[in-house]
């Protein structure tokens, strides 16, 4: 029985080994992923994003407690800042959410972003698919950062929660358009701090000035919630709004399916891009002409655009 069969049979060690293969972008991925691609599809995937220090990890910890009370199984994928030397996650899953370490129905894994665009590595989508195929009821994906570069979180989550704090006013002003594109739910965490109400009002005003269709039957009205994650305040409302959003998606099936079609298209193009990139790097190591061209670019003898044009015209 291979690793995939073991994993689909509920073997947690097989799941862990598959996650490691994906994290390391093993060549085996092209054989592994087709086997699990159409498995699952039942998990609720929630993306949690926001600036560093907003309390995302504490919110996730509180959500786990609430979800487990409902007897649902949970997987957490925490996208951490990458080490500039090893490429691995700086913050390990052992540091996070220690209270759930003994719960066999909670699986927590950290993943280094490896400098990928949007703070989400290519591996994230594949690991989420693994978690789904394994049979977890809820998958929580916590990402580092917020803004235009975090739009990619929408490609893995059903519901995206943007977590901010009362001091995030400048962030909101700078990233208005991006935030509206990302968020299905806004959370002002650490709401016991000064200016929490102002922050909530600012977000509500931003939402109200959004698309003209906002609030119509086919457009989700983005809620703005206040929480104190450390005390567990507002967590139930956040979970309720998340479930409400999922019901909304199911009710508006056509719009939801359009979103999924765009995601599948994007994933296909991303896989092809990565495959071609790897193939080209392999060719650079083998072909003298490409090695020479790369050296000319590195030494400034030739600009990268002219060099790229040369390669494209030859292939």
- Domain annotation covers residue 260: no
Give ∠ CA 189-82-124 in degrees, rounded to 5. Answer: 75
Q: What is the pLDDT of residue 258?
A: 82
Same domain, 62 and 175: yes
If asked whether residues 303 and 231 sit together in one domain, one would say: no
If asked whether residues 129 and 225 sit together in one domain, one would say yes
Q: Are residues 149 and 174 in the same domain?
A: yes
Contacts of 148 (CB under 8 A, 6+ apart): 175, 177, 178
Q: How many domains are contained in the chain?
A: 2
- The alpha-helical segments, DSSP class H, found in 209-303 are 235-251, 253-286, 288-298
- Asked if residue 184 belongs to a domain, the reply is yes
Residue 119: inside a domain? yes
pLDDT value of residue 23: 85
pLDDT of residue 185: 95
**22 and 164 inside one domain:** yes
Cα(101)–Cα(294) distance, integer angstroms: 48
In a domain? residue 259? no
- 61 and 167 together in one domain: yes
Q: Are 143 and 48 in contact (CB under 8 A)?
A: yes
Measured from the Cβ of residue 68, the count of other Cβ atoms closer than 10 Å reads 16
Q: Judge whether 277 lies within some domain.
A: yes
Longest dimension (CA), the chain: 64
What does the pLDDT read at residue 85?
42
CB-facing half-sphere around the CA of 247: CA atoms within 13 A:
7
Q: Is residue 55 part of a domain?
A: yes
Domain ends where: 224, 251, 278?
251
| CATH number for the domain that contains residue 216 | 3.40.50.300
Q: Are both 277 and 239 inside the same structural domain?
A: no
- Given 227, 251, 275, the domain boundary residue is 251
* Same domain (yes/no): 27, 157: yes
Which domain covers residue 310, as residue numbers?
267-314
163 and 286 fall within a common domain: no
Tokens of 204: 């509500």
Note the pLDDT of residue 147: 47
Q: For residue 113, what are the CA distances in angstroms to 120, 131, 204? A: 6, 18, 31
List the pLDDT tens digit at each of the 315 positions of the chain: 699 999 999 999 999 999 999 888 888 888 999 999 888 888 999 999 888 888 898 999 999 999 999 999 999 998 865 544 444 444 444 455 566 767 789 999 988 755 454 335 678 889 999 999 999 999 999 887 654 446 567 778 999 999 998 887 776 666 666 667 788 999 999 999 988 998 899 889 888 876 544 445 568 889 999 999 999 999 999 999 999 999 998 888 887 888 788 888 888 888 888 888 888 888 888 999 999 999 999 999 999 999 999 988 876
Closest CA to 22 of 9, 12, 32: 32
- Tell me: do 201 and 291 sit in the same domain: no
| Contact in structure between 126 and 38 (CB atoms under 8 Å) | no
Same-domain status, 154 and 294: no
State the DSSP H helix or E strand holding residue 26, giving kind and residue range, or none if neither: none
Last residue of a domain, one of 199, 225, 251: 251
Q: What is the pLDDT of residue 93?
A: 42
Q: Clarify whether residues 104 and 243 are in a common domain.
A: yes
Whether residue 256 is contained in a domain is answered as no
Give a yes or no: residue 258 inside a domain. Answer: no
């Amino acid at each position: 029985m291979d690793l995939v069969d073991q994993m689909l049979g509920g073997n947690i060690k097989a799941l862990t080994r598959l996650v490691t293969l994906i994290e390391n972008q093993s060549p085996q991925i092209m054989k592994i992923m087709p086997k699990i691609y159409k498995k699952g599809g039942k998990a609720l995937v929630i993306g949690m994003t926001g600036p560093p220090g907003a309390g995302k990890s504490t919110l996730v910890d509180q959500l786990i407690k609430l979800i487990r009370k409902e007897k649902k199984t949970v997987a957490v994928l925490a996208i951490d800042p990458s080490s500039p030397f090893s490429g691995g996650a700086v913050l390990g899953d052992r540091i996070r959410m220690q209270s759930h370490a003994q719960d066999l129905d909670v699986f927590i894994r950290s993943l280094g972003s490896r400098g990928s665009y949007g703070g989400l590595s290519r591996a994230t989508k594949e690991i989420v698919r693994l978690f789904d195929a394994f049979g977890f009821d809820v998958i929580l994906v916590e990402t580092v950062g917020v803004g235009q570069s975090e739009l990619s979180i929408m490609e893995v989550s059903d519901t995206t929660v943007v977590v901010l704090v009362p001091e995030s006013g400048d962030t909101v002003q700078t990233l208005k358009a991006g935030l509206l594109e990302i968020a299905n739910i806004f959370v002002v965490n650490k709401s016991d701090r000064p200016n929490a109400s102002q922050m909530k009002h600012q977000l509500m005003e931003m939402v109200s000035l959004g698309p003209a269709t906002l609030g119509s039957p086919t457009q989700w009205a983005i809620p703005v919630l206040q929480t104190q994650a450390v005390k567990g305040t507002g967590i139930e409302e956040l979970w309720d709004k998340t479930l409400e959003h999922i019901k909304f998606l199911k009710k508006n099936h056509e719009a939801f399916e359009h979103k999924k079609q765009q995601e599948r298209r994007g994933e296909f193009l991303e896989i092809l891009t990565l495959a071609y990139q790897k193939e080209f790097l392999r060719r650079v190591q083998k072909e003298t002409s490409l090695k020479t061209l790369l050296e000319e670019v590195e030494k400034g003898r030739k600009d990268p655009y002219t060099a790229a044009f040369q390669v494209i015209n030859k292939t």
